[in-house]
Amino acid sequence: MTPTSLQGGGPEPTARAAVVSVAAPRARLMFQSQTSRRLAFGYLLLAPAALYVLLLVGAPFLFSLYLAVSDANVGDPVATFIGAENFRAALEMDVFWIALRNSIVFLVVAAIFKSLLGTSLAFLLLQDFPGKKLIRGLVVIPFTLPIAISVLAWKWMYDSQFSVINWVLSRVGLIGQYGTDSWPIWLGDPKLALLACIAVNVWRTFPFSAIVLLAGFTSVPLEVLDAAKVDGCSFFQRFRHVVAPMIFPILMIGFLFDTVFTLSDLSVVYLLTQGGPANASKILPVLAYQIGIQAGNLGRGAAIALFLVPLLAPAMFLFLRNLRRREY
């Protein structure tokens, strides 16, 4: 974003130069002043959005770097510089390592399941059949429902006593009656809590994987496929050399987009378990929230949130590269 701010004052000097250089041929002068007017107009239009983003995303991001090296807390607004103390303290917390591990497990396990489900769904939706629009509309509901709201439905389905999942499992005979040891308490059992949260994330995002994959497939022009066929490519050659390279950037972007949102989302775990029982489902965003807001230790909370950056950075970098490649 810095280029925006640097170039914000750019056009005026050029405009002045254009006016000053009277010796220049008349046509060039007109052209130049028109160009500079266009640029000035352009930057003027761009300014509100750029300023908003700079002031409320750029500046806060830098400010979070500052918070992380300060002892800022909610009660005491005057923060002093304490160096890497917050990061060191975080690394010494057991719960930090649990949260880091859980975040990574969450990301990887969820990614495996949603790509399996998403791929099979995409291949089904690629076919032509009556009622396709309706079915597609129904299947994507989990992704379009506001997240906090769908998590509530799951909290009710995971209820310790009246869970509908358990009701079915019990009737089928897979688990025992309520109150016996084989009655799973999804959100209260340290072995199950994280899995239960992962299931909600998978449920919410498998339609997204499917739709992104579909968008990839439909972006391959039929003529290109036909041309390859005419040139004597087999099905696998066509897939390997034509389809795969064309859809790869789209898939990559969808995948990275989902990585960023899965890693940084707090609502699923926060609403289902608050990270419990006994930190069994604690992930980094929940820990950052609890320390930063609930315990009021802004500096430490910011430091923990920033530990997400090294996890996110590779994803962001690849995202950027793919986005650029698609642009041209």
Partner 1 sequence: MATVLEQKVLSQKQKDRRRHLWIYAGLTPFVFMAVFPIYWMVITAFKQDPDLYRMDNIPFWFNLAPTLRHFKILFFQTNYGAWIINTMTIAAWVAVITLITAVPAGYALARLRLPAAENIGISVFMTYLVPPIILFLPLSRVVAMLGLQDEWWALVVVYPTFTIPFGTWLLMGFFKTVPMEMEEAARVDGCGYLGAFVRVVLPVSLPGVLTAVIFAFTLSMQDFLYGLAFVAPGDQKPVPVGVPTELIRGDVYYWGSLMGAALLVGLPVAVLYNFFLDRFIQGITGGVGK
Give whichever of 63 and 237 is closer to partner 1, judged by the CB atom.
63
Q: Which residues pair with 70 in a beta bridge?
A: 81
Q: What is the DSSP letter of 166?
A: H
21 vs 134: CA distance, rounded Å: 65
Give whichever of 31 and 63 is closer to partner 1, judged by the CB atom.
63
222, 133 in Cβ contact below 8 A? no
User: Shortest Cβ distance from residue 92 to partner 1 (Å)?
Assistant: 21
Give whichever of 108 and 152 is closer to partner 1, judged by the CB atom.
152
Q: Give the up-direction half-sphere exposure of residue 104: CA atoms within 13 A in the CB hemisphere.
A: 8
Give whichever of 128 and 231 is closer to partner 1, judged by the CB atom.
128
User: Shortest Cβ distance from residue 23 to partner 1 (Å)?
Assistant: 26
User: Shortest Cβ distance from residue 261 to partner 1 (Å)?
Assistant: 7
Q: Around Cβ 271, how many Cβ atoms within 10 Å? A: 18
Q: Which two tokens stand for residue 22?
A: 């009277």
Q: What is the DSSP letter of 175?
A: S
Q: Which of 262, 289, 288, 286 is nearest to 275 (CA)?
A: 286
User: Shortest Cβ distance from residue 8 to partner 1 (Å)?
Assistant: 11
Q: What is the DSSP letter of 294?
A: I
Give whichever of 234 and 316 is closer to partner 1, judged by the CB atom.
316
10 vs 13: CA distance, rounded Å: 6
User: Shortest Cβ distance from residue 234 to partner 1 (Å)?
Assistant: 24
